[in-house]
Amino acid sequence: MIDDLPGNPGPDPGSARPVSVAPGPARAGDLLAIALAAFGLLAELGETVEDEWTYVTKLVEVGRARLRAAVPDAGGRVSPERAAAIDALAAEAGRITDPHRAIDWLSTFPAVAELVLGAGGILAPARPPAGGA
Amino acid sequence: MRFQDAARDARAIVYAGIQADSLVARLAALAADATYGQRLMARAVMNGQSTDPATWRVIFPTVFGPAAPDLERAEALLAASLEVAERGEQVRSQFRGAFVEALSQVLVARRTGDAAVRRERRVLFDGVASEIHPYDLTVEKAGREEAWDCKWGARGINADVLNQLDDARRHAADEERSLRVGLIVFDVRTSCAVRLAADGAAAGNRGGDARDARRACRPKGGASMTPPDPASDTPADILRIEQAYRVRFDEATPDGLAKTSALLGYLQDVAWRHSEVLGFPRAWYRERGLAWVVRAIDVTLGVPIRDGDELRVSTRIAGFRRVMARRRSELRAADGAPIGDVTVDWAMTDGRAPTRIPGDFASVPGIDLSPFAPTRVDLPPAPPGAVEQRLVPRLRELDPMGHANNGVYLDWLDEAVAAAGGADDVRAAARRYRMEYLRAAGPGVALRSIAWRDGGGWAWQLVDDAGDVVRGRLDPASSAQP
């Protein structure tokens, strides 16, 4: 379950393939889960470069925090264009097979996701009608 | 402090072609005025897998959407970045590096003016390059000199890079000059911070933490160090000593002649002995983290030296510079007949870079402090017909510093020249070697040993992926007697 995002993004990001969101406005939490999953795959790949293990580990830690910070409200809504962007970004990350390139992507990926989701990327969540006075 | 063009080795020539590619300049011009989002897009595309522009337009809605600023630039930058991405992996990497350098040049030139900014230049202090590789970018404006290294990603940051920059700054300060140094990294700021922290080289102390950690294994300087301590069996004349050596069976070639490298072994040994006589034993260097490395040799031999021959090898100090000292040696037969003479230029190093020779040496009474012009070996580019051999240093060729010993390079030169058709010249009794050691070759490094006929002698260069390691010449000696 990802309802309690951003504290718990759901499954171990490293163990899941990114899952596409359905067309249309999406929940920010769902997109965060996709981004974290894709980021986890990059991390797994990057960690195979033993000489860079320390750097990769720290980069992953900072990157995950950055991704979570980009989604302050998991219940927020995201436009179809931005949802498609995260989906495409995750797919692009999934195409990386070279561990060294993965390390480079660990640096780029959170910044791109932040660009997509930040600066008005997440709309206020739909709220129930206010009670009558 | 002065600046100098880097040597144009084969790698540099290939890379210069990439640097001159119009795509690099186009990318740099576009990126120089790009928004943050556009630059991030360019970085992702150049490092991405997809080469379909539509994919990237989807990934970057804030760069390509209807409300995006300067859409024309974004599209042009995307197109140029895809041109890089479509290259093979190695070429792509070179283009990315060249792009960062070109972008840096554009941005730095806006501050300093075009004329002051140069590429691929070495900084020399007292005639010695401050680091192995040239700096990607220098600003050569009197009183406002700068040296920059450019990196595609944060991963290019490491303690050595930082220390080399810092050393250049410190060397300049030693000469009472100011040199601004820095890294320009085309990556996300937080990744650079992570890299700096992970490397123990926190931003702000210019790699000092890493350097300090490296040096922690050394005792601290000061009064507790071993002072200069002349050996107990000091000869009457400490300024020149002589030792006897007998050419061992294993030091000779199949034709019974002494390997030239064996002679260099004697020269190193007698130099060590002389250092001890002067009061500088191995412990003195170890405690200070200092060592001598051979910078250049000039060896003239006049008569054949054979297995079992006894030689008398002398040494004396024949000059000083800020980080270098010169030794002269004479080789004589047991009966005193001259065999050859040798000049060796030594550079003092702290393990990473040339460093000033401590004043203790200059205080030895009577020592020759004359300045000297270091031996240089300048070679023309290797012609197409040059004979090339590939080699990797073997364990037995390494010395206690973990590098191929300077004598080993001489064997490699002999082998290369012989393979190129100069076997008789290698065996000639009267011959002259000049070698300039630019960098050390460590274990496992892939090297190319290239020899070719040049004038009346032979030119030789040893190169690795980063450029020249050693340059050398073998020429006939002008007479049978040195």
Give the tens place of pLDDT for each residue, B83-127: 999 987 778 888 999 999 999 999 999 988 888 899 888 888 776
pTM for this one? 0.53
Chain A nearest-CA distance from B394, in A, is: 24
User: Across the interface, do B47 and A66 touch by the CB < 8 Å criterion?
Assistant: no
Integer Cα distance of B55 and B45 in angstroms = 10
User: Across the interface, do A92 and B48 touch by the CB < 8 Å criterion?
Assistant: yes
Per domain, the residue ranges of chain A are 22-71+84-122
pLDDT value at residue B471: 93
Checking if the pLDDT of B415 tops 90, the result is: yes
Third-level CATH fold of B230-375: Thiol Ester Dehydrase; Chain A (3.10.129)
Q: In the 3-class helix/strand/coil scheme, how is chain A assigned residue by residue? A: CCCCCCCCCCCCHHHCCCCCCCCCCEEHHHHHHHHHHHHHHHHHHHCCCHHHHHHHHHHHHHHHHHHHHHCCCCCCEECHHHHHHHHHHHHHHHCCCCHHHHHHHHHHHHHHHHHHHCCCCEECCCCCCCCCC
Reference B147, options B108, B186, B115, B111; nearest CA is B108
Residue of B nearest to A100 (CA): B155
Reference B329, options B339, B343, B318; nearest CA is B343
Q: Say yes or no: A89 contacts chain B, CB-CB below 8 A.
A: yes
**Cβ-nearest to B62 among A92, A106, A116:** A116
Q: Looking at this predicted complex, what is its ipTM? A: 0.81
Q: Testing the interface with A: which of B50, B189, B194 to mutate, by most A Cβ within 10 A?
A: B194
User: Across the interface, do B59 and A116 touch by the CB < 8 Å criterion?
Assistant: yes
- The percent of residues in chain A predicted with pLDDT above 90, rounded, is 42
> B387 is written with which tokens?
């004979």
CATH topology identical between B230-375 and B376-482: yes
For B323-362, how does the pLDDT look when each residue is reduced to its tens digit (9 = 90+)?
A: 889 999 999 998 999 999 999 999 888 876 777 788 888 7
Residue of A nearest to B57 (CA): A85
For A61-90, how does the pLDDT look when each residue is reduced to its tens digit (9 = 90+)?
A: 889 989 988 888 888 888 999 999 999 999
For B419-447, how does the pLDDT look when each residue is reduced to its tens digit (9 = 90+)?
A: 999 999 998 989 999 999 887 787 778 89
pLDDT value at residue A122: 65
**In whole numbers, what is the pLDDT of chain B averaged over residues?**
84
Residue B310's pLDDT band, with cuts at 50, 70 and 90, is very high
pLDDT value at residue A129: 42
Q: Say yes or no: A39 contacts chain B, CB-CB below 8 A.
A: no
Reference B433, options B293, B312, B263; nearest CA is B263
pLDDT value at residue B127: 60
- The percent of residues in chain B predicted with pLDDT above 90, rounded, is 44
Integer Cα distance of B376 and B459 in angstroms = 13
For A107-121, how does the pLDDT look when each residue is reduced to its tens digit (9 = 90+)?
A: 999 999 999 988 666
> B449 is written with which tokens?
């040993």
Q: How many CB atoms lie within 10 A of CB B205?
A: 14
Contacts of B153 in chain A (CB under 8 A): 104, 107
* Cβ atoms of residues B219 and B269 within 8 Å: no
Checking if the pLDDT of B82 tops 60, the result is: yes
Count, residues in chain A: 133
For B204-226, how does the pLDDT look when each residue is reduced to its tens digit (9 = 90+)?
A: 333 333 333 333 323 333 334 55
- The percent of residues in chain A predicted with pLDDT above 70, rounded, is 70
Residue B381's pLDDT band, with cuts at 50, 70 and 90, is confident
**Cβ-nearest to A92 among B43, B59, B61:** B59
pLDDT value at residue B8: 66
Residue B229's pLDDT band, with cuts at 50, 70 and 90, is low
Displacement of CA B244 from its chain's centroid (Å): 34
Residue A5's pLDDT band, with cuts at 50, 70 and 90, is very low
pLDDT value at residue B132: 55
User: Across the interface, do B49 and A103 touch by the CB < 8 Å criterion?
Assistant: no
Distance of CA A48 to CAs A106, B110, B197, Å? 13, 42, 21
**In whole numbers, what is the pLDDT of chain A averaged over residues?**
77
Checking if the pLDDT of B306 tops 70, the result is: yes
Strands B145-151 and B179-185, by their bridges, are: parallel
pLDDT value at residue B230: 52
* B478: exposed, middle or buried (Cβ count in 10 Å: 0-12, 13-18, 19+): exposed
Residue A3's pLDDT band, with cuts at 50, 70 and 90, is very low
Strands A26-27 and B387-391, by their bridges, are: unpaired
Per domain, the residue ranges of chain B are 2-215, 230-375, 376-482
For B111-168, how does the pLDDT look when each residue is reduced to its tens digit (9 = 90+)?
A: 888 888 998 888 887 766 555 568 889 999 888 889 999 999 999 998 878 888 888 8
Displacement of CA B93 from its chain's centroid (Å): 23
Local structure of B247: helix, strand or coil: coil
Reference B153, options B91, B93, B103; nearest CA is B93
Chain A nearest-CA distance from B141, in A, is: 35
Residue A23's pLDDT band, with cuts at 50, 70 and 90, is low
Q: Testing the interface with A: which of B43, B62, B87, B96 to mutate, by most A Cβ within 10 A?
A: B62
**Cβ-nearest to A81 among B65, B187, B199:** B65
**Cβ-nearest to B49 among A52, A96, A119:** A96
Contacts of A108 in chain B (CB under 8 A): 40, 43-44, 47, 187-188
Chain A nearest-CA distance from B65, in A, is: 9
- Pick the range with the lowest mean pLDDT from B30-34, B169-173, B225-229: B225-229
Please state the rounded mean pLDDT for residues B60-83: 94
Please state the rounded mean pLDDT for residues B472-481: 73
- DSSP letters, B437-477, are E-S---TT--EEEEEEEETTEEEEEEEETTEEEEEEEEEE-
CATH 3.10.129.10 fits B376-482, yes or no: yes
User: What is the rounded (10 degree) CA torsion for B234, B238, B240, B242?
Assistant: 0
